[in-house]
Structure 1
Amino acid sequence: MTDRLILGQTLAFASDPFADGPAAATHERRGGVLLQDGRIAAVGAADGLRALYPTAQVTDHGDALILPGFVDAHAHYPQTAIIASWGKRLIDWLNTYTFPEEARFADPAYAADVAGRTLDLLLAHGTTTVASYCTIHPGSVDAIFAAAQARGMRVLAGKTCMDRDTAPAFLRDTAQAAYDDSRALLTRWHGVDRLSYVITPRFSPTSTPEQLSALGALWAEHPDCLMQTHLSEQTDEIAWVRSLYPAARDYLDTYEAHGLLGPNGLYGHAIHLEPREIDRLAEVGAAVVHCPTSNSFIGSGLFDMGLRARMRVGLATDTGGGSSFSMLRTMAAAYEIAQLKGIALHPSELLWLATGGSVEALRLGDRIGRLAPGHEADLVVLDLASTPAIAQAAARADTIWEAVFPTIMMGDDRAIAQVYVAGRPVRG
């Protein structure tokens, strides 16, 4: 394969800006990234890379900013068609929109159509990796993984398991089916190409203790897999959990008691946590995932970014409860919510949450999420003057952070100049 040298501005994070500040990133005003066989081979000044690799095919993106591809750490691809549906609270929204839509995924052709559409929408917004819930239908998992293979994408996903009568009968499996189907899918897909299987109980209210225990047993058999679920999204949800699990100390305990708390656990939302829950999540090394547009759209509450001091935090769209496929919009919402909690997130921290932070939550830090030699060449190229409003704001900038912040706050798919998946350009 011909070496490809892409040129533009570059931001390469050597460490976590939440710990080390903006100095964690190196900005090259005229930089480059050398791509070889789907990986990053070198990062540095453009002139130096041109001299070192004179035969490389050159793509010059001018003043556009080259970053690692965005990473969406929590999404529901089966909810793509119902994004931006008017709703009330979480439980009403699930019953009115989500569950009827997910029933359609019994049809493999429908699942394949939505899976492909979802991944194309994500790529159009600069997202190159996603962790997604599927439905109870094994074919929904096959569909998203097949679509990912066709696009060369790194995708993490799992069959969503629900067996309690709190879920509609047409979307229930059993404890045994959850174990058997998940195990078969894991065996078929986990580690194939760029795919990872994720054990996926939807959340405690829609699973019996027997199903949670069955999935906990499966996780114990495959501890290298991630496990994803929801935790403390809304106050009425927490009350619901308390009524269904009266012996539990708190919401997290409904997972912990059944083997579903561990260092490879991903707990979506995590807004209304009790002190014990925070302590236990931090103690075991679990990750939580912030879903800001969803949290505001469904009226769930304000996530506390101060948790970042004690545990890994990913960032996610949570489509279709989230109201946008764009990680730029998601970063903007994260900034706004943090402001309401008295925290002013720096642009470096926002970009990190959408790249390195989400990657750390997904335990993929050795593979993606950085402009660094050896990492997979999943990249997004941002036009920092994609609209007149953004352009006039960026023109006043004295630093790269001042230049990129207007795109974070006001950017959309028009800001995505190019996307590379495993070194291959996917736009034009």
Structure 2
Amino acid sequence: MGFLQAMLDISLCRAVTVTPSGASHAPLPIRATRIGASLAARAWRIDLRDHLIFPGLINAHEHLHVNAVPPLHAGAPFANSYAWIRAFQAHFTEPAVAAALRLPKALRLRHGALKNLLAGVSCVAHHDPWHPALDALDFPIALLRDYGWSYALGWPGYGPPVRASFAATPAGRPWMIHLAEGTDAIAQAELAQLDRLGCLAANSVLVHGVGMRAADIDRVIATGAAVVWCPTSNRNLLGRTLDPRRLCAADRLALGSDSRLSGARDLLEEMRGIAARGELTPAQVVALATAAAARILRLPGRGNLAPGAQADLVIVEDRGGAARSLTDLERSEIRAVVRDGVPCIADPDFAEWFAVAGVDAVSVLLDGRPKLLAAFLAEPDLLALEPGLELATACNAPGRERAVEAWCP
């Protein structure tokens, strides 16, 4: 059973569905929690003319539990992530940091999931020890499961040992490690070191890779391994990032946000920045967060809108160009984010969809725009952690008369 079981068939009519192979104007059927192969005779239908439907985004690298922790403000780039980690030790004593870390970890994990969901992300690779809260039936997003990981070659005290975790990971499942996260000789040597350990293979997923040189990228491509690119985090910590073009062309690149502790607000902001800087085309950027990520992370039921795929969707207005319609957006401009065929957050005119799916919804403001949010996501402690998200009241709802506003405390 999915995170919410929609016990009805739905037809998203007159919509343009966007896949890696292009756009299609055919209706998109949903059968319970999956994309259907045909329309059901008694399906509930929703008219989405002038809209585009994308697969739910995949965030290939996140640390869900630290998105409310204030970042370290450093004046100069670090040579590598190990230097940043050492500098951060003193930051733990800051009152705001200590207060954030005193919050229950289950709540912090849920907040990281909500942050992703608001930006259209429906599946995340969480690069940290597993926690029971991640198995909750109402956890806001899906998670990469049955994978192997180690933290980093130069930080052996956290996470599973490198060689043992790689050996224990089946060849058909991804194995993840932070690698070459720096610009100095230490970072530049890490790919060769990993190779000597026998841990560079077709299922190796290397996070960051900033210190890799041309020969290293050749080696990654030849091995069939892949890199997760987190450009905002790289620039904030290291002062630069990798050139994504060769890895992207070889289909060996996915995209991650790396949490607000060092990275972008969310994956959508990351995508928008890449497209605006012209580092990749909008279509390539969308592929990194959908089809390419699904292949690299071995998630065949995600990243596409083919029959049988998970009915996780991002619905946006058609702005005259498929991929650019997504990479030009702020999160508040997304019309609806759907998980398992059920809306989780959407514009108010989608209220009937919540109702027919049996999902209670509450009115909220997301970055000042009115939305409906599934009620199970509207926990006060959770909303309090997410800047820009609040319950809508008579005092803050847009369009209220001045006489009403005057009564607000």
Q: TM-score, normalised by structure 1?
A: 0.69
Q: Equivalent residue for 1:334?
A: 274
Q: Deviations over 1:237-293 (max 9, x none)?
A: xx3357xxxxxxx31122222232111111111223134422321122111111122
Equivalent in the alignment of 2:143? 155
Match of 1:94 in 2: 85
**Residues 217, 349 of structure 1: alpha-carbon distance in 2 compared, 3 angstrom cutoff:** closer
For 2:262 and 2:227, how far apart are their aligned partners in 1? Answer: 16
Q: How much has 1:57 moved relative to structure 2?
A: 1.2
**Does residue 426 in structure 1 map to residue 344 in structure 2?**
yes
Q: Aligned with 1:81: secondary structure?
A: coil
Distance 1:266 1:53, change over 3 A: same
Residue 67 of structure 2 contacts residue 261 of structure 2 at CA under 8 Å; is this kept in 1? no
Identity among equivalent pairs (%): 25
Which consecutive residues of structure 1, in runs of 5 or more, have no partner in the other structure?
A: 16-23, 43-48, 136-140, 157-195, 243-249, 340-344, 385-393
Deviation at 1:103, TM superposition (A): 9.7
Q: Deviations over 1:212-249 (max 9, x none)?
A: 23223323xx333321112222213xx3357xxxxxxx
* C-alpha separation in 1, matches of 2:194 and 2:99: 29
Name the structure 1 match of 2:321.
400
The alpha-carbon distance between structure 1 residues 77 and 153, as it changes in their structure 2 partners (threshold 3 A), is closer
Counterpart Cα distance in 1 of 2:40 and 2:98 = 53
1:312 and 2:252 equivalent?
A: yes
Instruction: Kindly report which structure 2 residues correspond to 1:21-60, keeping only aligned pairs within 5 A, or say none.
Output: 24-28=21-25, 31-42=26-37, 52-60=39-47
Residue of structure 2 in register with 1:78 after alignment: 65
**Is the Cα contact below 8 Å between 2:257 and 2:263 reproduced in 1?**
yes
Who is 2:180 aligned against?
232
Alignment correspondent of 2:208:
269
**1:213 lines up with 2:163 in the alignment:** yes
Point out the structure with the larger helix share: 1
**Distance of 1:119 and 1:8 partners within structure 2:** 31
**C-alpha distance in structure 1 between counterparts of 2:181 and 2:218, whole Å:** 18
**What is the CA distance between 1:143 and its match in structure 2?**
3.8
After TM superposition, the score normalised by the length of structure 2 is 0.71
Moved more, 111-120 or 257-266: 257-266
On the 8 A contact 2:60/2:255 being kept in 1, the answer is: yes
Q: What is the distance in 2 between the residues matched to 1:357 and 1:322? A: 24
Structure 1, residues 60-101: CA drift from partner, whole Å, max 9, x if none? 344332110011001111321226542343445423448949
The number of residue pairs the alignment matches comes to 329
Counterpart of 1:142 in structure 2 is 131
**How do residues 102-113 of structure 1 correspond to structure 2 at under 5 angstroms?**
110-113=104-107
State yes or no: 1:200 paired with 2:195: no
Which residue is 2:16 aligned to?
Answer: 10
Q: Deviations over 1:110-149 (max 9, x none)?
A: 21011111111111111001101125xxxxx1245224x3
SS of structure 1 residue aligned to 2:15: strand
Residues in 1 aligned to 2:17 and 2:310: alpha-carbon distance in whole angstroms: 16
Aligned residue among 271, 278, 288 for 1:353: 288
Aligned to 2:358: none
Deviation (angstroms), 1:360: 1.6
Give the counterpart letter for 2:292 in structure 1: G
CA distance in 2, matches of 1:235, 1:422: 41
Per-residue Cα deviation, 1:14-51 (whole angstroms, up to 9, x for no partner): x5xxxxxxxx20242xx431111211004xxxxxx7xx
Aligned match for 1:223, one of 141, 161, 171:
171
Native 8 Å contact 1:77 1:320 kept in 2 = no
Counterpart CA distance in 2 for 1:338 and 1:229 is 28
Partner of 2:362: none
User: CA 1:72/1:361 → structure 2, altered by over 3 Å: closer, same or farther?
Assistant: same
Say whether the 8 Å CA contact 1:229–1:267 is kept in structure 2: yes
Task: Give 1:282's aligned residue.
Answer: 221
Paired with 1:115 and 1:228, the residues of 2 have a C-alpha distance of: 19
* Distance in 1 separating the partners of 2:105 and 2:51: 36
Could you say what secondary structure the match of 1:235 adopts?
coil
Shift in alpha-carbon separation, 1:406–1:291, aligned structure 2, 3 A? same
Q: Residue 128 of structure 1 corresponds to which residue in structure 2? A: 122
Q: 1:338 to 1:229 in 2, by over 3 A?
A: farther
- Which has the larger displacement, 314-323 or 416-425? 314-323
Task: Supply the distance in 2 between the matched residues of 1:320 and 1:93 (Cα, whole angstroms).
Answer: 15
Alignment of 1:368-407 (within 5 A): 368-383=302-317, 394=319, 399-401=320-322, 405=324, 407=326
Q: Give the Å deviation of 1:346.
A: 2.8
SS at match of 1:202: strand
Pair 1:112–1:233, CA change in 2 (3 A) = same
Query: For the aligned residues, what is the CA RMSD?
Result: 3.0
The aligned counterpart of 2:384 is none
SS, match of residue 118 in structure 1: helix
Superposition map of 1:225-264 within 5 A: 225-236=173-184, 239-240=185-186, 250-264=189-203
Conserved in 1, the CA contact under 8 Å of 2:117 and 2:140? no
